[in-house]
Amino acid sequence: MKVNDSAIARTGVAVGVLPSALDAIGDTPMVRLDRVTDGVDGTLLAKLEYLNPGGSKKDRVAKRIIQAAEETGALRPGQPVVELTSGNTGAGLAIACAVTGHPFVAVLSRGSSTERARMIAALGAEVVLVDQAPGSVAGRVSGADLALVEKQARLITQSRGAFRSDQFENHHNVEAHYTGTGPEIWAQTGGRLDAFADFVGTGGCLAGVTRALKERDPAIRCFAVEPEGAAVLAGHEVFESHHPIQGGGFGRADLTHLRDVPLDGYLQVTGDEARRASRLLATREGIFAGFSAGANVAAALHLLQHELAGATVAVVIPDSGLKYLSTDLWE
């Protein structure tokens, strides 16, 4: 294939070649899920965030946090970065730190899938695994497990003089989706959208997308998706903290990123519903996604089958099914 010879002469590379993997983050495609919605009155659209370099929507957050911290001087050249993660933010930060030259320490619960920890380590980061709380279930991260990880992350941050990216509190988490994911969804749908639903981890994606969409059309309805049995945002008591949907549902009712966000409702899905939807995505749509993608699709289908029949609903596909091969998602 012939390329632009003059461009090569000037830069040594062909036009269209990106400077780094960080520049490949975002602008993910949106697809119709017509096979999953066969027989359902309405349209379901999925934004394929698992096609980001680190395999998840958290790549956007990691890039934004590191770049902003460098710009403000909060992160010094060569300074270590530490983060609590269930895996996806850790992979994104491992990429961002590799490109920008910062050592990175990811602190995970042993309840996270082994694929996540191995991927982060393969990307050059140091991985610290924290034992689960008494009574926890292997392969499932509870709020109690996360509290132990948080404690360890704070100790490591202090002992190493590190920068803590702090995805649960850092407002650049929301900004990454407010300036990126949300406007992309609006542009890709041409504004012809009735609703958006997202499984809540830190709440950054739901908050950023909700604000971006409602600024453009306040009639778009935005919903928080939670695991049944751990739906604290909806005001329910926690009776199943060991649900299988990794990356969220930690039982934290007061999430900083969701304060004052104009949500329109709360949806609950079971682990089995999320599992079935993830498998449908794989076998009917060729989209190999994780547990939270299944939760999003299951919640969106509920909307289309009930209060939003005939509507157009968008979701994100947060991460790849490759990160769950050791779990019961694919058994």
pLDDT digits (tens, 9 = 90+) for 216-255: 999 999 999 999 999 999 999 988 888 889 888 888 889 9
pLDDT at 16: 87
Instruction: Please compute the mean of the pLDDT values over residues 17-36 and round it to a whole number.
Output: 97
pLDDT at 307: 96
Q: Which helix (H) or strand (E) holds 223?
A: strand 221-227
Q: Are residues 82 and 200 in the same domain?
A: no
Q: Are residues 320 and 232 in the same domain?
A: yes
4-27 burial code (b ≥16 CB/10 A, e <16): eeeeeeeeeeeeeeeeebbeebbe
Rounded distance between C-alpha atoms, residue 55 and residue 241, angstroms = 26
Instruction: Please compute the mean of the pLDDT values over residues 195-211 and round it to a whole number.
Output: 97
Q: Which of 108, 138, 164 is the last residue of a domain?
A: 164
Q: Are residues 246 and 322 in the same domain?
A: yes
Q: Is the pLDDT of residue 12 over 70?
A: no
Is position 321 within any domain? yes
User: Which residue, 74, 72, 69, 113, is CA-closest to 90?
Assistant: 113
Q: Are residues 134 and 233 in the same domain?
A: no
Instruction: Please compute the mean of the pLDDT values over residues 274-293 and round it to a whole number.
Output: 97
Q: Are residues 203 and 267 in the same domain?
A: yes
Is position 139 within any domain? yes
Q: Are residues 210 and 325 in the same domain?
A: yes
Rounded distance between C-alpha atoms, residue 146 and residue 107, angstroms = 10
- The set of catalytic residues is 58, 292
Phi then psi for 171, rounded to 5 degrees? -70, -15
CATH number where 229 lies: 3.40.50.1100
Q: Are residues 103 and 201 in the same domain?
A: no
pLDDT at 6: 45
User: Residue 246's domain spans which residues?
Assistant: 21-54+171-330
pLDDT at 111: 86
Rounded distance between C-alpha atoms, residue 228 and residue 249, angstroms = 9
Q: Are residues 196 and 129 in the same domain?
A: no
pLDDT at 168: 94
Written as one letter, the residue type at 89 is T
pLDDT at 7: 43
Give me the residues paired with residue 291 across strands: none
Is position 150 within any domain? yes
Q: Is the pLDDT of residue 62 over 80?
A: yes
Burial class (CB within 10 angstroms; exposed 0-12, middle 13-18, buried 19+) of 58: buried
Q: pLDDT band for 143, please (50, 70, 90 cuts).
A: confident
pLDDT at 87: 85
Q: Are residues 124 and 249 in the same domain?
A: no
Instruction: Please compute the mean of the pLDDT values over residues 308-314 and round it to a whole number.
Output: 98
CA distances 136 to 132, 230, 289, Å, are: 6, 15, 25
pLDDT at 14: 66
pLDDT at 139: 73
pLDDT, averaged across the chain:
93
Lowest mean pLDDT among 4-13, 169-178, 181-190: 4-13
Is position 78 within any domain? yes
Q: pLDDT band for 296, please (50, 70, 90 cuts).
A: very high
Work out how many domains the chain is built from and give that number: 2
Q: Is the pLDDT of residue 47 over 50?
A: yes
pLDDT at 13: 58
Rounded distance between C-alpha atoms, residue 279 and residue 79, angstroms = 42
Q: Are residues 187 and 271 in the same domain?
A: yes
pLDDT at 3: 41
Rounded distance between C-alpha atoms, residue 227 and residue 242, angstroms = 10
CA atoms within 13 A on the CB side of 53: 24
Instruction: Please compute the mean of the pLDDT values over residues 149-165 and round it to a whole number.
Output: 96
What percent of the chain has a predicted confidence (pLDDT) above 70?
A: 95
User: Which residue, 118, 63, 61, 60, is CA-closest to 87?
Assistant: 118
Instruction: Please compute the mean of the pLDDT values over residues 84-93 and round it to a whole number.
Output: 92
Q: Is the pLDDT of residue 311 over 90?
A: yes
CA distances 171 to 68, 71, 73, 203, 321, Å, are: 10, 15, 16, 11, 28
